[in-house]
Amino acid sequence: MYPLLRNILFKAAPEKVHYFSMNCLKIATSIGLGDTILKNLFQYKATNLQKEVMGLNFKNPVGLGAGFDKNAAYLHELEALGFGFVEIGTVTPKGQPGNDLPRLFRLPADKALINRMGFNNEGVAAVKERLVNWNSRGKSKGDLIIGGNIGKNKITPNEDAWKDYSICFNELHDQVDYFVVNVSSPNTPGLRALQEKDALTKIFSELQHHNAGKSNPKPLLLKIAPDLTKEQLDDIVELSLTMNLSGLVATNTTLDRSNLSATSAALSESIGMGGLSGKPVQKRSTEIVQYISNQTQGKVPIIASGGIFTGEDAKEKMIAGASLVQVWTGFVYEGPAIVKNICTYLSANK
């Protein structure tokens, strides 16, 4: 059924479809019977999927990557669809509109997306308010793990980036279960320069200082790009060990379009700049997961993201060394049953 619906939805602009679909889900879950039906249709529960990672108890290892629910506006709806965890954001200190429209594009021939969103979000104060409301719901919010993906404002110079990350960290500390520092988006000018060792050391030194002063320190992770060189990856591996990072998220979108089909390559030329996600980044993402796992001897938990559409894709990432997986582009192409389908496969193929 979803392939038919997808063909209809794909006739409209991607960003409009995103909000339309999620608002339809919001209406459905606001009705008691609708909420129950959705949970019965899309949730899959199995005790052999539960796992403890970074000191957190995940009901299943399938999460939603950052960028889908930027403002923590759809947590109940995503919990109803069976996600084990949701990473909200990227959140910046001040709200910002992001880049000009259009900024999200489909490459259906390759099951891929190109985005140049630019950290559009309502700002940390608005997101915090929603999270406070969510956390006040008690048992009705289920056992969904919430990650906070944090970034810097576009107008903030790189030398002051650590201040933006610190603001978001302190404001959201009591509201999320773990944090991810995003320095790997290609859509904020100069941001990826913060992936260099010295810049990362400054950011994480500040955040770990704040974290140590809290009564309940939170896991702190770094999200990396798939376009890093071996030398850059080695620096990040060293940093993750010396700075006692709780984990790494591998990977963000890529600037490399060499794996596109002729049809998608021609379309991407007309689209222009942006980060590529989906099937074309699958292989590189898995390679990086494998490399990091080997270099850290499995000591640093990895959340794998990049080209996960099926249970087999998720299993491949886990064999490579991932503890958890995130979907995003796969969710767009496979629809709301993706979590159940992946969980069913993983449960049967432990």
Q: Known catalytic residues?
A: 185
Task: Say which DSSP state 89 is in.
Answer: E
Q: How far apart are CA 46 and CA 291, in angstroms?
A: 30
- Cis amide bond preceding 102, omega within 30: yes
Q: What angle do CA 236, 188, 218 make, to 5 degrees?
A: 50
Q: How far apart are CA 24 and CA 74, in angstroms?
A: 11
Give Cβ neighbours of residue 200 (< 8 Å, ≥ 6 apart).
183, 194, 222, 236, 239
Give Cβ neighbours of residue 271 (< 8 Å, ≥ 6 apart).
105, 114
- Pair 59, 43: CB distance under 8 Å: no
Q: How far apart are CA 110 and CA 119, in angstroms?
A: 25
Q: Give phi and psi for 330, each to the nearest 5.
A: -60, -35
3-state secondary structure of 197: helix
